Structure 1
Amino acid sequence: MDELNTLIGLESVKEKVNDLIAYQRIQKLRRENNLYSSKNTLHLAFTGNPGTGKTTVARIVGHIYKKIGLLSKGHFVEVSRTDLIAGYQGQTALKVKKVIEKAKGGVLFIDEAYSITENDHSDSYGKECLTELTKALEDYRDDLVVIVAGYTEPMNKFFESNPGLKSRFNTFIEFPDYEVDELEKILILTCKNNDYILDEKTCLIIHDYLKEKVNNKDDNFANGRLVRNLYDDLVMNHARRVVNIEHPTKEDLSILISDDFCEIYL
Structure 2
Amino acid sequence: MKGAMEELDLELSKIIGLEELKMKLRQWAKGMLLDQNRRAPHMAFLGSSGAGKTTIARIIGKLISSVGVQYPTRVTEVQPTDLVSQHSNQTRLKTRKKIQDVWGGILLVDEAHRLSPSDTAGNYVTYGEEALDEIMYAIEEGGVLVIFAGCTEPMKRVFSSNKGFCRLVTHFFQFNDLSCMELAEMLLLKLSKQDERSRVFGLRLGSGCSVDAVASVIERKTSERMRSRMNGDLVDHMVNNGRDNLDLRLGLEAKGDELLTITLADLEAGFDQLVLRLSVSRRGRVGKSN
Is the Cα contact below 8 Å between 2:238 and 2:270 reproduced in 1? no
Report the 3-state secondary structure (helix = DSSP H, G, I; strand = E; otherwise coil) of the residue aligned with 1:177: coil
AA partner of residue 83 (structure 1): D
AA partner of residue 74 (structure 2): G
> In the alignment, which residue of structure 1 is the partner of 2:266?
260
Q: Structure 1: 5+ residue runs without aligned partners?
A: 32-36
> In the alignment, which residue of structure 2 is the partner of 1:129?
131
Pairwise CA distance, 1:262: 4.5
Pairwise CA distance, 1:9: 0.4
The TM-score, its normalising length taken from structure 2, stands at 0.76
AA partner of residue 136 (structure 1): A
Q: Give the one of 26, 30, 34 matched to 1:26.
A: 34
Q: Greater CA deviation, 201-210 or 129-138?
A: 201-210
Matched, 1:230 2:238: yes
Is the Cα contact below 8 Å between 1:74 and 1:106 reproduced in 2? yes
Greater relative contact order structure (CA < 8 Å, 6+ sep)? 1
AA partner of residue 66 (structure 2): K
Q: Structure 2: 5+ residue runs without aligned partners?
A: 1-7, 195-201, 273-290
Is the Cα contact below 8 Å between 1:62 and 1:106 reproduced in 2? no
> In the alignment, which residue of structure 2 is the partner of 1:189?
189
Pairwise CA distance, 1:153: 2.1
Pairwise CA distance, 1:112: 3.3
Report the 3-state secondary structure (helix = DSSP H, G, I; strand = E; otherwise coil) of the residue aligned with 1:167: helix
Q: 1:233 to 1:61 in 2, by over 3 A?
A: same
Q: 1:175 to 1:140 in 2, by over 3 A?
A: same
Distance 1:145 1:178 in 2: 29
Report the 3-state secondary structure (helix = DSSP H, G, I; strand = E; otherwise coil) of the residue aligned with 2:51: coil
Pairwise CA distance, 1:117: 3.3
Q: 1:42 to 1:209 in 2, by over 3 A?
A: same
Distance 2:134 2:249 in 1: 55
Percent identity for Structure 1 against Structure 2: 29
> In the alignment, which residue of structure 2 is the partner of 1:211?
219
Q: CA RMSD in A?
A: 2.7
Q: 1:159 to 1:188 in 2, by over 3 A?
A: same
Q: 1:243 to 1:64 in 2, by over 3 A?
A: farther
Report the 3-state secondary structure (helix = DSSP H, G, I; strand = E; otherwise coil) of the residue aligned with 2:140: helix
Report the 3-state secondary structure (helix = DSSP H, G, I; strand = E; otherwise coil) of the residue aligned with 1:174: strand
> In the alignment, which residue of structure 2 is the partner of 1:146?
146
Is the Cα contact below 8 Å between 2:116 and 2:161 reproduced in 1? no
Report the 3-state secondary structure (helix = DSSP H, G, I; strand = E; otherwise coil) of the residue aligned with 1:217: helix
Is the Cα contact below 8 Å between 1:180 and 1:214 reproduced in 2? no
> In the alignment, which residue of structure 2 is the partner of 1:34?
none
Pairwise CA distance, 1:229: 0.9
Distance 2:151 2:213 in 1: 31
1:88-128 alpha-carbon deviations (Å, 9 max, x no partner): 222221111111123334432223323323259x9883443
Matched, 1:173 2:173: yes
Superposition pairs for residues 39-188 of structure 1, below 5 Å? 39=39, 41-70=40-69, 71-80=71-80, 82-119=81-118, 125-141=127-143, 144-188=144-188
